[in-house]
Amino acid sequence: MHVWFNIKVKSTKILLVITVLLISWAVLWKFNIPYIGSDQRVVNLSEPFKWNQLFEMIANVLLFLPLGILLSVFQSEKFSEGKNFAIWKQVISIIILSVFLETFQYVLACGRSDITDLILNTTGGVLGIIITKITLHLGGYPGRVALKTIALVIVIIAFILAGFSLEHLGYQF
């Protein structure tokens, strides 16, 4: 049982790391080749939802959804012995990652740092946590497997989209 438990936790950790790297690539460089931008930097902290298009807003929510799912599944596996990892700590982790990425967008001048992104990224992560909590409550272990599968499918779709993005730039695989 102990070996199986370690395999479950390690597989979730690997998915978590891949998801964070993918989110970072998507937020900072929109699945393009990494670069440092020009001297122009844009920050919008006062007018949420002003510059964002609907597609971009939905993408921000969907991009952070697997992070919320995997973070919550990981914590449920790691602390399954009666200990509980508070939901607020998971939410704070998502907010910290989002703030970190928005700050790096500004520093690297490779995107627009926007309060809307912070709100929507957090919303996506929180929705992932809520979906996980409900699914684990109703489904137990099969629910955990289903959640990992859903998160993995979202990550695979994001990689496919990344491939199309790179192909559009003229790179061939």
pLDDT digits (tens, 9 = 90+) for 134-151: 887 777 767 777 787 888
Output the CA angle 131-103-22, nearest 5 degrees. Answer: 45
* Helix extents (H) in 30-114: 54-78, 87-108
pLDDT of residue 101: 93
3-state secondary structure of 173: coil
- In the predicted model, what is the mean pLDDT of residues 49-76? 80
**pLDDT tops 80 at residue 156:** no
**pLDDT tops 60 at residue 167:** no
**pLDDT tops 80 at residue 169:** no
3-state secondary structure of 49: coil
Tokens of 72: 């919550």
Q: Using a cut of 0.85, tell me whether the model's pTM lies above it.
A: no
